[in-house]
């Protein structure tokens, strides 16, 4: 399948600020093309929301045997690491789209900068980490809602939506899945969930008890309506053993339908195939992508009927 990418603008608003958007109409889509739309989220340029601009990569898939007028596919929100939509993130989007999904990948830092990806160097790493805690949870939420809204507005979308992402994006995928419209989530090495350190904060808090009136992701798990797969490397220094255990325990306490996948020798950013500082593990990455395809395929593509009570599992050999 072939891929063709273009741009579309999407509106967002947060923290009492909003503006009008400009939308680029989707191109005519020949049946033999896998079509991608790159949309934008940037509050500092003349595009959307606070002025959201380029950063949303949307991919429509069409097989040569398909009818472009009637083909429909599930949507996937893909949230990036702290460097925005880099080459590895865009390649990941294309991989997912190639299996029959419309993929939307917003650039998270439109509040502060343009849609261009940050560099994998020390200066831009510091910049990305600073933006990550300056951006409010309300702004992150507005982005994810707008991304889902846009996917659902497409005539080629079935109305079923999944979420995925890595690092910061792994957290944002989990947080986005608090929206009941998202029914499947596959999160790669999500940072800052266990410590409540996404967005502005005074100090890290790894307590199992929620602070008063907390809107941190860790304290909102009871809002999950879909299924979640959490993927971590055991050697990930960003999310230590205790942090992973806290996330798992809080999900179980909230009754979340979740699976945990922990790989013994994997480190942080192990799926990044570019400038990964020696941490890229293609073998484990392949296994994790199969996890994603299983969850998304079963939840977003298979019609299992209306959800009902599941009978108790028999204790048998």
Q: What is the DSSP secondary structure assignment for residue 90, as one 8-state letter?
A: H
Distance CA 292, CA 110 (A): 28
Secondary structure class of 245 (helix, strand, coil): helix
Any bridge partners for residue 14, and if so which? 17
pLDDT in tens, the chain (317 residues): 565 565 667 778 887 765 222 222 333 333 333 333 333 332 222 222 223 334 544 444 444 555 666 789 999 999 999 999 999 999 999 999 989 899 999 989 988 988 889 999 999 999 999 999 999 999 999 999 999 999 999 999 999 999 999 999 999 999 999 999 999 999 999 999 999 999 999 999 999 999 999 999 999 999 999 999 999 999 999 999 999 999 999 999 999 999 999 999 999 999 999 988 899 999 999 999 999 999 999 999 998 777 777 788 999 89
Selecting among 9, 141, 236, 281, the annotated active-site residue is 236
Q: Structure tokens of 163?
A: 């979420």
Selecting among 77, 157, 167, 288, the annotated active-site residue is 167
CB 243 within 8 A of CB 250: no
CB 292 within 8 A of CB 96: yes
Task: Clarify whether 167 is annotated catalytic.
Answer: yes
285 phi/psi in degrees, rounded to 5: -60, -40
Instruction: Tell me the torsion sign for CA atoms 238, 241, 247, 251.
Output: positive
Task: Clarify whether 171 is annotated catalytic.
Answer: no
Selecting among 60, 268, 281, 288, the annotated active-site residue is 268
Distance CA 10, CA 56 (A): 8
Task: Clarify whether 245 is annotated catalytic.
Answer: no
């Amino acid at each position: 399948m072939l891929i063709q990418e273009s741009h579309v603008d999407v509106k967002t608003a947060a923290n009492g600020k909003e503006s009008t958007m400009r939308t680029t109409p989707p191109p005519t889509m020949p049946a033999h093309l896998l079509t991608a739309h790159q949309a934008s989220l940037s509050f500092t340029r003349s595009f959307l929301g606070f002025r959201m601009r380029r950063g949303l990569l949307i991919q429509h898939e069409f097989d040569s045997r398909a009818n472009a007028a009637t083909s429909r596919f599930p949507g996937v929100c893909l949230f990036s690491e702290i460097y925005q939509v880099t080459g590895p993130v865009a390649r990941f989007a294309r991989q997912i789209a190639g299996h029959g999904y419309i993929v939307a990948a917003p650039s998270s830092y439109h509040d502060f900068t343009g849609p261009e990806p940050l560099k994998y160097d020390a200066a831009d790493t510091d910049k990305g980490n600073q933006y990550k805690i300056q951006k409010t949870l309300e702004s992150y939420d507005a982005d994810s809602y707008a991304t889902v809204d846009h996917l659902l507005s497409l005539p080629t979308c079935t109305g079923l939506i999944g979420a995925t992402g890595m690092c910061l994006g792994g957290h944002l995928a989990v947080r986005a899945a608090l929206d009941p419209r998202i029914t499947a989530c596959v999160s790669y090495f999500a940072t800052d969930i266990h410590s409540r350190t996404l967005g502005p904060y005074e100090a890290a808090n790894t307590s199992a008890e929620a602070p008063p009136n907390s809107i941190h992701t860790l304290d909102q798990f009871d809002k999950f309506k879909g299924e979640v797969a959490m993927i971590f490397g055991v050697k990930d220094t960003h999310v230590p053993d205790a942090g992973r255990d806290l996330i798992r325990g809080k999900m179980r306490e909230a009754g979340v339908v979740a699976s945990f996948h922990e790989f013994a020798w994997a480190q942080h950013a192990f799926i990044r195939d570019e400038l990964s500082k020696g941490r890229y593990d293609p073998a484990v990455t392949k296994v994790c992508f199969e996890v994603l395809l299983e969850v998304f395929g079963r939840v977003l593509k298979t019609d299992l009927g209306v959800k009902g009570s599941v009978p108790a599992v028999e204790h048998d050999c």
